[in-house]
């Protein structure tokens, strides 16, 4: 079978690429990357936004507001560069990459899906595995950094008339709150609004790097050094499994485990216990927690400001412990290593590197990307660059009462996870 025939056999196919650039020449030459940006540079956010039939929303309609949008978010249209020793001796000495604001643009991908949107989003269908990845163009930075876009936007049309917007966002230019704020800004321009000024400050911060030989924080796994291909193989074939926790299922979980428990901690506790049971030959005593705290943000539109820490369950067997105890540890016993992760002098894998990682997206505005006044019917976020310990992303659903969960785990664990969740409190009421 030829390449074109194989492409046609896929549910999502016919990818066509184009580029959108800022509408005017960016005056800022370089955008400096901070320590926290570098800590997350080996990870990539994949966000899929699903809409029913939206009248009059063509590719051209979507592209037109991107030109002024990229005027405001000009670093997103740039490309990563290594420092030139002659041009910037200080940066060269530190081997600190930066974003060259050369207006090369973001890549637009148009694709078709041979299935109806309702069928595509069924939790019990095999499409729930790697569904996010198929909606988001699969590219990372390198090996030719100077040619690698920081953002891909995939526009997928379903046979029923529905549509999905898929974003492939390089984590080094900002965390998930930065990404969603950026996308929502574009939607406001599309709606004819004036979304206000964007604060983009190159991070010319002093580099408080730890001395060479400093042990890595427990939250992360040191790797590398990584050269110009910014993706570290995890050692396992990783899959993204997305599922919906309904309001009824969440209420049942709270009633039976902890009526006062917060959704993120309860769902994470259940997934922690489930993964611990699957990994019978390997204890899962320590987990990493990554949280977005909107109230603590600096106001910069592009920033990696999420909190990173770990939880140690010494004294517990997570596979056998009460879920309420694990949830309490996640709520009250996170050891904050945010500063230490940023200061570590080497390359690291944060998500799924040292530990199974839980990502709290409760405060992220995921449903502000409206098309013709219509909110997305469903949003789900996954991630690439996750280490073999795996990661679990927890976010609100469209109604705000249930949750959408994406587990990025070794592919050979996904079947066992699905079976366990099907028999658990989490999905019995779904």
Nearest alpha-carbon partner for 183 in 45, 321, 14: 45
For residue range 234-263, list pLDDT tens digits in order.
889 999 999 999 999 999 999 988 888 899
Q: Residue 212: which pLDDT band, with cuts at 50, 70 and 90?
A: confident
Range of the domain at 66: 12-424
Percent of the chain's residues with pLDDT above 90:
77
163 part of a folded domain: yes
For residue range 35-54, list pLDDT tens digits in order.
999 999 999 999 999 999 88
For residue range 179-211, list pLDDT tens digits in order.
999 999 999 999 999 998 899 876 666 567 888
pLDDT at 2 over 50: no
53 part of a folded domain: yes
Percent of the chain's residues with pLDDT above 70:
91
5 part of a folded domain: no
Q: Which pTM value belongs to this model?
A: 0.93
- Give backbone dihedrals phi and psi of 403, rounded to 5 degrees, phi first: -135, 150
Nearest alpha-carbon partner for 36 in 175, 234, 215: 175
Nearest alpha-carbon partner for 337 in 381, 371, 375, 286: 286
Residue 429 has a pLDDT of 37
DSSP for residue 309: E
The number of domains in the chain is 1
430 part of a folded domain: no
Enumerate the H helices of 2-107 as residue ranges: 3-9, 35-39, 59-63, 66-72, 89-94
List the Cα angle 262/265/271 in 5-degree steps.
135
Residue 5 has a pLDDT of 39
- Output 424 or 7, whichever has higher pLDDT: 424
386 part of a folded domain: yes
CATH of the domain at 287: 3.30.559.10
Beta bridge mates, 391 = 357, 408
The chain-wide mean pLDDT, for the chain, equals 90
For residue range 264-292, list pLDDT tens digits in order.
999 999 999 999 999 998 889 999 999 99
51 part of a folded domain: yes
């Amino acid at each position: 079978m030829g390449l074109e025939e194989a492409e046609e056999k896929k549910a999502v196919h016919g990818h066509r690429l184009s580029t959108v650039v800022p509408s005017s020449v960016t005056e800022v030459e370089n955008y400096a990357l901070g320590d926290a940006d570098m800590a997350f540079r080996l990870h990539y956010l994949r966000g899929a936004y699903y809409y029913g039939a939206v009248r009059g929303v063509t590719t051209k309609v979507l592209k037109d507001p991107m030109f002024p949008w990229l005027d405001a978010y000009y670093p997103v249209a740039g490309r990563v560069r290594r420092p030139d020793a002659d041009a910037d001796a200080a940066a060269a000495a530190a081997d600190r990459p930066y974003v060259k604001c050369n207006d090369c643009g973001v890549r637009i991908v148009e694709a078709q899906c041979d299935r109806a949107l309702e069928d595509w989003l069924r939790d019990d269908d095999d499409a729930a595995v790697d569904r996010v990845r198929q909606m988001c163009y699969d590219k990372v930075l390198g090996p030719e950094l100077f040619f690698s876009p920081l953002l891909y936007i995939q526009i997928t049309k379903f046979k029923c008339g529905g549509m999905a917007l898929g974003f492939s966002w390089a984590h080094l230019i900002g965390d998930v709150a930065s990404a969603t704020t950026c996308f929502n800004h574009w939607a406001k321009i599309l709606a004819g609004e004036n979304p206000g000024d964007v604060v983009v400050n190159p991070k010319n911060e002093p580099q408080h790097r730890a001395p060479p030989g400093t042990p890595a924080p427990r939250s992360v796994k040191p790797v590398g050094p990584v050269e110009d291909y910014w993706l570290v193989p995890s050692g396992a074939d990783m899959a993204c499994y997305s599922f919906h926790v309904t309001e009824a299922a969440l209420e049942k979980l709270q009633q039976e485990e902890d009526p006062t428990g917060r959704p993120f901690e309860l769902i994470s506790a259940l997934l922690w216990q489930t993964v611990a049971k699957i990994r019978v030959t390997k204890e899962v005593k320590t987990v990493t927690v990554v949280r977005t705290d909107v109230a603590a943000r600096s106001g910069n539109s592009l920033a990696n400001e999420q909190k990173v820490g770990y939880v140690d369950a010494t004294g517990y067997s997570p596979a056998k412990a009460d879920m309420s105890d694990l949830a309490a540890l996640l709520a009250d016993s996170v050891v904050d290593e945010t500063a230490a992760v940023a200061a570590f002098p080497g390359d690291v894998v944060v998500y799924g590197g040292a530990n199974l990682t839980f990502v709290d997206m409760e405060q992220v505005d995921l449903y502000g990307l409206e098309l013709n006044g219509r909110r997305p019917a469903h949003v789900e976020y996954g991630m690439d660059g996750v280490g073999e310990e795996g990661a679990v992303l927890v976010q609100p659903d469209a109604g705000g009462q249930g949750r959408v969960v994406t587990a990025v785990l070794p592919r050979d664990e996904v079947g066992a996870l699905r079976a366990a969740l099907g028999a658990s409190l989490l999905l019995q009421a779904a």
